[in-house]
Amino acid sequence: MTARITHWINGKPWDGVASRTGEVYDPATGKVSGRVDFAGQSEVDSAVAAAAAAFPAWRDSSLAKRSNVLFRFRELLAARKGELAAIVTAEHGKVLDDAAGEVQRALEAVEFACGIPHLLKGGFSENVSTKVDVYSIQQPLGVVAVISPFNFPAMVPLWFVPNAIACGNTVVLKPSEKDPSAAVFIAELWAEAGLPDGVLNVVHGDKVAVDGLLEHRAVKAVSFVGSTPIARYVYETGTRHGKRVQALGGAKNHMVVLPDADLDLAADAAVSAGFGSAGERCMAISVVVAVDPIGDELVGKISSRMASLHIGDGRRTGCEMGPLVTRAHRDRVESYVEAGVASGATLAVDGRGHPVDGEAEGFWLGPTLFDRVSTDMSIYTDEIFGPVLSVVRSPSYDDALELVNSNPYGNGTAIFTNDGGAARRFQNEVEVGMVGVNVPIPVPVGYYSFGGWKDSLFGDTHAYGPHGIHFFTRSKVVTNRWLDPSHGGVNLGFPRNV
C-alpha cells in the first residue's frame, strides 16, 4: 500500500478528501511510493486563512520568543538530519551523502535566522531637531508564500521559511509535487519546536496551487526557485497582483579553465560539479570553457574520471550519483544526448551505457561528456538539468569572458587558474551573480545571500542571508517628540530642523 502525503494546515495534517492526487516515485526503482494530495482553491484558501489568523499574535510575539523557537527547531533538525536526508534520497534520488550535505547547508540558513534579535535592530538618531528623535524599525509583511523546486526539497524551503518566520511573518509553503514529504517532515519539526499553529502551513499540488497563491489577496510576498520560464511567470503574475516577489530562475553555469590551471584539480571539479546530484542543481557546471591549448588534455582527464563513477541507488554503499527524479525528466535529458550527436558535437563519453548499481526500472542516465560544442547547439543554449557536460574550446581569456557574459543566464560561474591577477580581473568583469575562484560551485554560506543576474533572477532581492531579512520586512521611520511646557503653539510653516 502506498503512503498518502497530505497538506499541513493550522498545525496538523489536513483531514479532507482531495479531488486530485499525484503519484510520487522512488526514482531508484521506478515504483510508486506514495500519492500526494493536490490542493484546489479551497485548500489554498484554508491554508492562507490559517496563516492570516495566526499573523497578529506571531507578529506581536517578542524577539526572544521567536528566537527560542528557532533555536529549538535548529536543535531538532540537527538531531534528526539523518531522517530528513533519507526522505530526500527516497523521493529525489540523490545519494544519501549528498542529501546529508543538503540538510547541513539548510542548517546554515536556520542558524543565521537564529540571530534575528540582532538582525532586526533599527537605527536611532537623537535630537535631529530640537527635542525631536527619529528611529527606524523593520516590520513583517504578513502572509508570505514559498514555492520550492524538486532538486533541493529540504534546503530551498529552509532558505526562506526560517527568515520569514523569524521576521514575524506567517508562511504557506508549496513544495514540489515530485518529492513532497520533506516539507511535511520539516513542518512537523517546527510544530515540535513550539511554533504556534498556523504560522507555517504546507499545501501540495501543481499550477492550480501556485496560481491560487499568486492571485490570493491575503498573500503579501512570494519566494520562488525553479526554471527561468516559470520564474518569469511567477514574477509577472505575482507583481501584477500587487505582491513583492523574488523569483530565482535557471542557469547555464560556465567553468573557465586557463592554461596555467592545475588540470587535475580542474578535472576533479568539473566532474564533481557537473554530475553531483545527477546534474539536477541550478549551480551545476554544465559548460567547461577550455582556453587553448589545454582542451585535449583536459577532456582526457575528465573522461577518465567519469569512467570510474559509481552510479546507482543512493541508499547503497559506495554510490556516487543516483537516478534522475522522474522517468519523463530522464527521457528529456536523454533526448539532449541524441540532439548533441545530431548537431555534430563530439560525444566523448556516452552515459547511456554506463553500468548501474540499481534496479533496471530506475530513472537512470549515466554521465555524458560532449567536446567541441558550439554556441548554437541546443546542448549549449538550453538548461538541460541533468548529467550532460559540454566542453567549449576558446582561443583566449577575452573570448572565454565574452562567452560567459553573452549568455542570457547569470547564476554561477567559476575560473580555474593559478594567476591571481587573472582571477581578480575575472571576478570584476564577469556578469554573473556568484563567482568561484578554483571553487566550482560557489554557493554562498548562510550569512551571505544567494542569487544570480540576468535571466537567473526576477526581482532585486537574493535568497537568505541579509537579503532574506530585507525581503521579509518593510521599514518604518518614526519621528518622535514629547511635548513639554515650552511648546510654542501653532506654526503653519514647513517643518525646519533647528
- The whole-angstrom separation of Cα 447 and Cα 459 is 20
In the set 114, 167, 282, 319, the catalytic residue is 282
CB contact at 8 A, 135 and 122: yes
- The whole-angstrom separation of Cα 498 and Cα 493 is 13
3-state SS, residue 495: coil
Backbone φ and ψ of 142, nearest 5°: 135, -130
- CA dihedral of 374, 378, 384, 386, whole degrees rounded to 10: -60
CB contact at 8 A, 434 and 411: yes
Amino acid (1-letter code) at residue 454: K
Q: Specify the DSSP class assigned to residue 222.
A: E
Q: Nearest CA to 363 among 21, 35, 22, 94? A: 94
Active site residue 167: no
CB contact at 8 A, 221 and 244: yes
- The whole-angstrom separation of Cα 365 and Cα 352 is 6
- Longest CA span, the chain: 89
Beta bridge partners of 174: 147
Q: 10 Å Cβ neighbour count for 479?
A: 12
- The whole-angstrom separation of Cα 220 and Cα 178 is 26
- The whole-angstrom separation of Cα 114 and Cα 156 is 17
Catalytic positions, written as ranges: 282
